[in-house]
Amino acid sequence: LAICFGAHVLTQTLGGKVKQDLAHKETGTFDVELFPDAKNDILFQNLPSPLRVQQGHKDGFEIVPHGAIPLAYSKWWPYQAYVMSGVPVYAIQFHPELDIDDVVYRLNMYKALYFDAGEDISDLIQSLLPTPEASMMPRLFVDRCMKVFAQTSTDVIHVPA
């Protein structure tokens, strides 16, 4: 489960493309929409669309790797999540591991990276919303991996290049 920067590294390593777009940075609580294939994915299948998530990025997936199945997108980014076909390898642009307190901490910690000097972020902090469905994703991922590994306990999982 590669999240945000880890997802960028995974994407580029597998042949996709990540780009920086300051005009379309997503910082705070946003909705992502699910692609139809998300209904068939064990991690995404029971999640609502739109799915409310926490975001904190100015880079995003421009092209997903060959063999990736796109699962989610947003207003500004054509891909917010994907899974590699046939293996439990996910790249997720948003932050399912963060709650509101975590986002507030990160906003204050990384303020200089995301905002102009002296910019007031109090309205952004006040606009943050809970993301209970997205928060379940890390646990669901572990559950999925346990099922896959139980089924393939003697096999080696290979990620397609």
Given a contact cutoff of 8 angstroms between Cβ atoms, the answer to whether 99 and 131 are in contact is: yes
Report which DSSP code applies to 42. Answer: T
Q: How far apart are CA 93 and CA 134, in angstroms?
A: 12
SS3 43: coil
Q: How far apart are CA 149 and CA 52, in angstroms?
A: 30
Tell which residue, 6, 102, 21, has the closest CA to residue 59: 21
| Residues labelled catalytic | 4, 95, 97
Pull the structure tokens for residue 22: 């300051």
Report which DSSP code applies to 30. Answer: E
Given a contact cutoff of 8 angstroms between Cβ atoms, the answer to whether 34 and 43 are in contact is: no
Q: How far apart are CA 3 and CA 74, in angstroms?
A: 16
